[in-house]
Amino acid sequence: MQQHLIEQYQQHKQNFVGYKDEWLVELREEALAYFLDKGLPTTKEEHYKYTNLNKLARSSYHLSHASSSVSKEQISNRVINTSNNILVFINGYYSASHSQIVESHNNLYIANFATALKEKNKLITNYLGKQVSLDNSITALNTVMHQDGAVILLDKNVKVEHPIELVFIHHDDDKSMQHVRNLVIASENSQATLIEHHYALDESEYLKTIITEIDSGANSQLNYYKLQCENKNAHQLSQLDVHQHQDSHFNYMSLDIGGKLIRHDINIKLLSSNATCQLNGLYIAKSKQHIDNHTCIEHQSPYSTSMENFKGILDDKARAVFNGRVIVQEGAIKTNAQQNNANLLLSNDAEIDTKPQLEIFNDDVQCAHGATVGQLDEQALFYLCARGIDQQQAKTLLTFGFAKALINAISDSRIRHKFTELALSKLDAEQLIQESF
Amino acid sequence: MLKIENLQVNVGDKNILQGIDLEVKAGEVHAIMGPNGSGKSTLSNVIAGKDGYDITQGKMTFLNQDLTTLEPEDRARKGLFLSFQYPVEIPGVSNIYLLKAALNAKRAEDGLDEIDAFDFLQLVKSKMAELKMDEDFLYRDINSGFSGGEKKRNEILQMSLLEPKLAILDETDSGLDIDALKIVAEGINRLRSADKGIILVTHYQRLLDYVQPDFVHVLAKGKIQKSGDKSLALTLEKSGYAGIND
Ligand SMILES: Nc1ncnc2c1ncn2[C@@H]1O[C@H](COP(=O)(O)OP(=O)(O)OP(=O)(O)O)[C@@H](O)[C@H]1O
Ligand SMILES: [Mg+2]
């Protein structure tokens, strides 16, 4: 992959976003050097022990092409509400004609990265590469090649009324790659809901990297939803870095149903006191899908809280990884950190590697973690069948029932509905939609 | 309607039912009593079609059909109902969904269309009123967090709604308070009719005071040791199971 990446970089660098900004070109080339040196992580590295990128490393991907064959309906069918703020990226490139900003005023900035680089140059310069240090190959790869992404800036006290939907659509030849870079800065006391969607309109093989940086200001409240519905030949490597300040709330909920090989790194730093994060995730995998969620929460200050709840449903030969690292620093007294990972295995060939990783450097904390791996409850199955429900339907009911509470924790009804719909479709249980509402 | 002949059942290598003969005709109420561990629930579960039991000998027919070849869901749709001794908690599946799906499965078997949503709600609410159940129970997950007595009442709600041809009530009276026992007994009596059969598995005479059985059987050590009319239950109440084997 390394050699091919140099060629791709040389070929496209004149067209990259910010190719005239010297600092950005330098940053890209620094990242290129890093990537050439390190390459993709191998299973010898502890945090990639269960996720093998070898095949990816041996393949060559070309930078994605722009596509003009995506209709408006293909977007409106997929978004949560067509009256929301919507930014659409097709093959990694912003599409103004598919997008709409319904809320705009002086204190709220919603734009694509390329535009923001022109309009908010100083701010972008300040942020980019500062929060995300070039300390891993995925970041490096993304930094070399990043094409576009979303930039969202909330000024002090801004409450964004309509959710902001970021829709990433893939529709390209085989072996394309796209690299997305998002930046969200939520100033003091601001509030917003963001939804990140991923869909493919064809079955071609591709690689997508996404880096999202979020700065969550004092007393800000952010809800971040991620719907990962890539196609069955997709590779997605994503990294979310959140810096939380005093009294901030960050709520995250993801649904993974797509992809061939998926890896998410979610890194939360609770920098100041009383910051709270809730990380929830549901992954449903079949055939030979591989879905890896690596979370890392660092409690740096007193009275901070992290609540984590990931659930997985695995069928066929699917494989999932959950690694929940929690670091509680010496000064972070009265930390409350709760973690849970529950998995339902529907086949004997499915596999889960789940691992809590607690590193606690003071005594005055409340930390708990739990991991379970189970099968469908035979007693419950018989109970339902004894009432006349056929076995397959009973299995589906119990399977969805396993995930339902997690989805129902989503407070916004439209978003909850969307999660339900997608989860049910993955479970071939669309008929249960009525049961859910 | 139910005919069991020389039924022998193993769990693993353990021979639990050692030759049961039992016939329940339409219109009859049978009580099965017997010491703990004698095989009453095993018999109930085997009739309902639960996995994990090895039928080594004997015959079991329901409405002249061989039961052993039918899946549990098919038995239920044909009108067999088991009220569980320990109703299972099922988080993530709502009670109302189960009630509706169960009713519709039975209606499909009977060649009827799905019940209209409004009619269903009317019907289920009237049944709940009879059982003095709060409507909130409809929207809770099946038996989840229900008290012992509430679970039993929920079983009777399902029975009332499904109107089975043969109902097996495995210790439905255990764990009920005095008022609830009466309410549940009334529910059972409403089902009782010339075309339905009922099997009451119980340890106590008090249920039989309300629902008077036509026959009483004593199951002990995997066999029906004694059968009689309702007076047998009264004898047992006085002198226990001692001497029953002779
Ligand atoms: N799955 C099983 N594995 C091993 N033993 C079993 C199993 N199921 C039932 N048994 C045994 O079979 C015997 C009969 O059990 P069963 O539950 O039928 O008794 P019961 O008559 O219903 O008792 P109770 O009055 O306490 O409800 C008991 O000794 C029980 O331990
Ligand atoms: Mg029993």
Contacts of B48 in chain A (CB under 8 A): 386
Average pLDDT taken over every residue of chain A: 95
Ligand nearest to the CA of B34: 1
Nearest CA to ligand 1 atom 6: B11
Express each pLDDT in A272-303 by its tens digit: 999 999 999 999 999 999 999 999 999 999 99
Is beta strand A176-186 parallel, antiparallel or unpaired with respect to A290-299? Answer: unpaired
Task: Express as a percent the part of chain B with pLDDT over 70.
Answer: 99
Cα-Cα-Cα-Cα torsion A391, A393, A397, A403, nearest 10 degrees, comes to 100
pLDDT band at A435 (very low <50, low <70, confident <90, very high): low
pLDDT value of position B238: 86
Ligand with smallest separation from the Cα of B14: 1
Distance B198 CA to ligand 2 centre (A): 17
pLDDT score for A186? 97
Question: What secondary structure, in 3-state letters, does chain B show?
Answer: CEEEEEEEEEECCEEEEEEEEEEECCCCEEEEECCCCCCHHHHHHHHHCCCCCEEEEEEEEECCEEHHHCCHHHHHHCCEEEECCCCCCEEEEEHHHHHHHHHHHHHHHCCCCCCCHHHHHHHHHHHHHHCCCCCHHHHCEECCCCCHHHHHHHHHHHHHHHCCCEEEEECCCCCCCHHHHHHHHHHHHHHCCCCCEEEEECCCHHHHHHCCCCEEEEEECCEEEEEECHHHHHHHHHHCCCCCCC
Find the mean pLDDT for residues A104-109.
92
Pick the atom of ligand 1 nearest to B85's CA: 27
Ligand 2 centroid vs A63 CA: distance in angstroms? 67
A94 closest CA partner among A178, A176, A27: A178
For B92, the closest of A385, A389, A402 (CB atoms) is A402
pLDDT of residue B42: 97
Q: Which atom of ligand 1 is nearest to the CA of B44?
A: 18
pLDDT tens digits, residue range B162-210? 999 999 999 999 999 999 999 999 999 999 999 999 999 999 999 999 9
Contacts of A402 in chain B (CB under 8 A): 92
Q: Which helix (H) or strand (E) holds A96?
A: none
Instruction: Indicate the range of A37-41, A187-191, B137-141, B242-246 predicted with least confidence.
Output: B242-246
Q: Mind listing the pLDDT tens digit for each residue in A149-201?
A: 999 999 999 999 999 999 999 999 999 999 999 999 999 999 999 999 999 99
pLDDT recorded at residue B245 = 60
- Out of B77, B92, B141, name the one closest to residue A388 (CB): B77
In this prediction, residue B246 carries a pLDDT of 47
Give residue ranges of A with CB < 8 Å to any B CB.
377-380, 382-391, 393-394, 397-398, 400-405, 435
**Residue in B20, B38, B152 to alter for ligand 1 test, most ligand atoms within 8 A of Cβ:** B38
Give backbone dihedrals phi and psi of A78, rounded to 5 degrees, phi first. Answer: -100, -25
Q: Which residues in chain B are contacts of A400 at CB distance < 8 A?
A: 92
pTM exceeds 0.90: yes
- State which of B40, B204, B241 you would mutate to test the pocket of ligand 1, scoring each by most atoms of that ligand within 8 A of its C-beta: B40
pLDDT digits (tens, 9 = 90+) for A337-356: 999 999 999 999 999 999 99
Percentage of chain A surpassing pLDDT 70? 98
Q: How far is the CA of B42 from the centre of ligand 1 (A)?
A: 6
d(CA A317, CA A287): 5
**Region A224-248: what's the mean pLDDT?**
98
Tell me the best of B42, B44, B83 to mutate to test the pocket of ligand 1, counting ligand atoms within 8 Å of each CB and taking the most. Answer: B42
Q: How far is the CA of A261 from the centre of ligand 1 (A)?
A: 47
Q: How far is the CA of B67 from the centre of ligand 1 (A)?
A: 21
CA B48 to each of CA A384, A407, B11, B103, B108: distance values in angstroms, whole numbers, following the listed order: 12, 34, 16, 17, 20
Note the pLDDT tens digit of each residue in B108-163: 999 999 999 999 999 999 999 999 999 999 999 999 999 999 999 999 999 999 99
Residues ≥6 apart with Cβ < 8 Å to A90: A66, A67, A70, A98, A169, A171
Structural domains in chain B? 2-244 (3.40.50.300)
Q: Cβ(B70)–Cβ(B55) under 8 Å?
A: no
Interface A:B, Cβ pairs < 8 A: 83
Structure tokens at A207: 């690689």
Cβ of A382 within 8 Å of Cβ of B72? The answer is yes
Is any Cβ of chain A less than 8 angstroms from the Cβ of B208?
A: no
Chain A residue numbers with beta carbons less than 8 Å from the beta carbon of B106 are 388
- Taking alpha carbons only, the member of B170, B231, B226, B228 closest to residue B198 is B170
**CA–CA distance, A224 with A278 (Å, rounded to integer):** 10
Here the ipTM equals 0.97
Q: Which ligand is nearest to the CA of B18?
A: 1
**Residue in B88, B94, B97 closest to A383 by CB:** B88
- Residue A428's SS3 state is coil
Return residues 48-67 of B near A (CB < 8 Å). Answer: 48-51
Reported as a single tens digit per residue, the pLDDT across B219-240 is 999 999 999 999 998 988 888 8
Give the side-chain half-sphere CA count within 13 A for B115: 21
State how far the Cα of B246 lies from the Cα of B232, in Å rounded to an integer: 15
Among B72, B90, B101, select the one facing A386 at the smallest CB separation: B72
pLDDT at A436: 53
Shortest CA distance to A384 belongs to which of B139, B35, B82? B82
What DSSP assignment string belongs to A261-280? EEEEEEEEEE-STT-EEEEE
CA distance A408 to chain B (A): 10
Give me the mean pLDDT over the A424-437 stretch. 81
Q: What is the pLDDT of residue B201?
A: 97
Q: Which two tokens stand for residue B2?
A: 């139910």
Residue nearest to atom 17 of ligand 1 (CA): B41
Nearest to A385 among B73, B94, B158 (CB): B73
Report how far residue A397's alpha carbon sits from residue B232's, in angstroms, rounded to the nearest whole number: 44
- Enumerate residues 6+ apart whose C-beta is below 8 A from B147: none
In this predicted structure, what is the pLDDT of residue B100? 95
| Ligand 1 center from residue A387 Cα (angstroms) | 22
Q: Which residues line ligand 1 (CB under 6 A)?
A: B 11, 14, 16, 34, 36-42, 52, 85
CB B218 within 8 A of CB B244: yes
Helix (H/G/I), strand (E/B), else coil: A63: strand
Q: What is the whole-number distance in angstroms between the Cα of residue B48 and the centre of ligand 2? A: 14
B88 contacts on A by Cβ (under 8 Å): 377, 379-380, 382-383
Q: Give the closest ligand to the alpha carbon of residue B84.
A: 2
Pocket test for ligand 1, best of B7, B8, B11, B224 (most atoms within 8 A of CB): B11
Residue-wise pLDDT tens digits, B80-113? 999 999 999 999 999 999 999 999 999 999 999 9
CB A351 within 8 A of CB A319: yes
Confidence of residue B11 (pLDDT cuts 50, 70, 90): very high
